[in-house]
Amino acid sequence: MQVGFRYHLATLIAVFFALLIGILAGVALVGNPALEKQIASLRADFDQIRQQLRLLEAQEKTGESFAKLAIPTLVKDRLAGRRVAIILNHDFSDTALVEKISAALEQAGAVVTSVSTILPAFVHLDPETADRIATRQQLSKSKGTDLRKELASRFALRLVYGISHFPFYLRKAGLIRLSGNYELLVRRVVLVGGLDQEGDAAVDAIDLPIIHALKQAGAEVVGCESMGAAISTIRIYQRENISTVDNADTPAGQLALVLTLAGSQGHFGVKPTANYLLPPLE
């Protein structure tokens, strides 16, 4: 069950509950028999909706249990021995999403070589730091040049080719958090987007150059985000002709992500940006 539907259902119940309280208060004041009849009717409706909510919650738990049992079988060996790197387009405060994605990939037999996180200092690169980096890396200082684009592109290329010195330079500069092995060739990359609020990421200046560089290097890149992302980046990723998954925090989304990395193409999930829930299982 989608979070939005549960929210609306809970809201509906709250409205009925509020009505009951209001009517009870009115009855207590005026003792109107007609209002007492309305109370009885609303109580019956409230009880019915509460039962429906309990049923939906039970169905959701059953679905989650089924997914946990079925998905390991469905993804088994789909990515056997294949190296996959994960890039987070900003510093997510919640690590659960990355853990779920990594677990799904590993269940499919993949080797998650690294997890790289774009830090706020990269998103909001200040002029002084940019000038220092440009000097040390012999990059252009032309007026109007956004150094973030060049740094993001270089990082992506060196990630794919296993050239570790540049990623570690960006880490030393406080721009990226690194975890894993950066000395291995990688041909599959998961770019995790989606924002909680404006300013969390710089999609045009960082995400898109990363995608361009990965494609230039011949890597397969899949863009994804959580179903509950307040601000979606999926449509922006889709402009770059890469496959996307908009519910990577759910079992269905993790299955779609594995199948996409295994060779399927398209836009999957539950949001308006998706064409299908899942790629073909065969």
- Distance (Å, rounded) from C-alpha 29 to C-alpha 22? 11
Average pLDDT over residues 209-228: 96
Per-residue pLDDT reduced to its tens digit, 67-107: 677 788 888 999 999 999 999 999 988 788 999 999 999 99
What pTM was computed for the model?
A: 0.81
CATH architecture, domain 79-268: 3-Layer(aba) Sandwich (3.40)
Q: Given pLDDT bands bounded at 50, 70 and 90, which one contains residue 35? A: low
Contact 105, 82 (CB under 8 A): no
Per-residue pLDDT reduced to its tens digit, 232-252: 999 999 999 999 999 999 989
Give yes or no for residue 260 having a pLDDT over 90. yes
| Sequence ranges of the domains in the chain | 3-73, 79-268
Amino acid symbol at 271:
K
pLDDT at position 114 is 97
